[in-house]
Structure 1
Amino acid sequence: MLKIIIVLLLLAVVISLFSGLFFLVKDGGKTRRVVNSLAVRVGLSVLLLVLILVALWTGDLSLNPTP
């Protein structure tokens, strides 16, 4: 379940990235939609990082010790 949430958050970050690109090309950077997209992307990235760190700290997610 945790890995599914992580993948969904990663997809949301990528979607936000491309929506910002679309708004930048369409509006020419004259509206605040690009800034809002950046804010959403940063918020989602921080949420993803915190979720991964908490999951590692609690032991729900483990690192692969073998290469």
Structure 2
Amino acid sequence: MLKAAIIFMLLATLVSLFSGLFFLVKDQGHSSRLVNALTVRVTLAALTLALIAWGFYSGQLVSHAPW
């Protein structure tokens, strides 16, 4: 369940990234929609990092790295 939530948050971050690009091109930077899209993207990225940290802390995510 946690992995699905993380993937969903990453996809939502990508959607927000491309919507910000669309608003930048369409509005040519004269609208606050670009700032709102970037705010949403930063918030989603922070929530994604928090989910990953919580997953490692709770033991639901484990690293199999050899180092």
TM bucket (normalised to shorter chain) is: over 0.9
Q: Could you list the runs of 4 or more consecutive aligned residues of structure 1 that deviate by over 4 angstroms after TM superposition? A: none
Q: TM-score, normalised by structure 1?
A: 0.94
Structure 1 gap segments, 5+ residues each: none
Q: What per-residue deviation string (whole Å, max 9, x for no partner) do you get for residues 1-48 of structure 1? A: 111111000000000000000000000000000000000000000000
2:10 aligns with: 10
CA distance in 1, matches of 2:35, 2:27: 12
User: 1:1-67 to 2 correspondence within 5 Å?
Assistant: 1-66=1-66
Identity of aligned residues (%): 52
RMSD: 1.2
Shift of 1:65: 3.2
Shift of 1:55: 0.8
Larger RCO (alpha carbons 8 Å, 6+ apart) = 2
Q: TM-score, normalised by structure 2?
A: 0.94
